[in-house]
Structure 1
Amino acid sequence: MRIKDVISLLEKEPMTAREICNALQIDPPQEKVVFEVIKRSAKILKRRGKQLLMIAPKCRKCGFQFETMNPSRCPKCKSEWIEPARFFVRP
């Protein structure tokens, strides 16, 4: 997986880490690698004068908004039904 490929996907539309895995035909267990690539791509985009933004993950049960990229459980209602973070590039 190349950073260039991830950036080109995120410039088109907001995507989750799982959607990036599917688009690049990567195994879903490698989702953690995608998060690392997203972090590195943010630095590259900053040098190019662009921004990598994140639509925060939220609990689908109570609506709690998370600050982390990949939460596992809601601290408010303890639900594991979480809408994943979406990433996109803004010029």
Structure 2
Amino acid sequence: MGELTTRERIQLLLKSADFPISAKEIMALTGIKREQEVYEHIYHIALSSKRKGFVVFVYPAKCEACGREISMERPRRPSRCPFCKSERVSPPKFLIRDRG
């Protein structure tokens, strides 16, 4: 068997993690250069998760100023809070666990 694809490496990393991981941490551990690329991979991993027997947990971004969670349809890091407009936003984090 050959080397793992980028998506398979991310999936393996999130499955073996003891705690939720941010896109920047995934970048550092996998060598991916762009944060948006990590979010795209996670989106596609989540789409295929229904067929493959695992669940992608998304811990939403959170505003550090007003404390609200910022949920989005597709994973990405918001540049500012849509509620109070603060730019102090912690990124979303991700974890994968087997279904059942």
TM-score by length of 2: 0.81
Does 1:35 find its partner at 2:39? yes
Q: Give the secondary-structure state (helix, strand or coil) at the position aligned to 1:89.
A: strand
Contact (CA 8 Å) 2:22, 2:93: kept in 1 or not? yes
Task: Report the alpha carbon displacement of residue 77 of structure 1 after superposing the two structures with TM.
Answer: 1.8
The runs of 5 or more residues in structure 1 that have no matched partner are none
Give unpaired runs (5+ residues) of structure 2.
none
Higher strand share: 2
Aligned CA RMSD, in angstroms, stands at: 1.3
Q: Deviations over 1:44-64 (max 9, x none)?
A: 322111111100110011101
**Alpha-carbon deviation of 1:43?**
2.4
* Residues 23-82 of structure 1: per-residue CA shift (max 9 Å, x gap): 01222xx11111111011112322111111100110011101111232111122211111
Q: Which residue of 77, 84, 89 maps to 2:91?
A: 84
Q: TM-score, structure 1 length as denominator? A: 0.88
AA paired with 2:44?
Answer: R
Amino acid paired to 1:79 = S
% of aligned pairs identical? Answer: 35
2:56 alignment partner in structure 1: 52
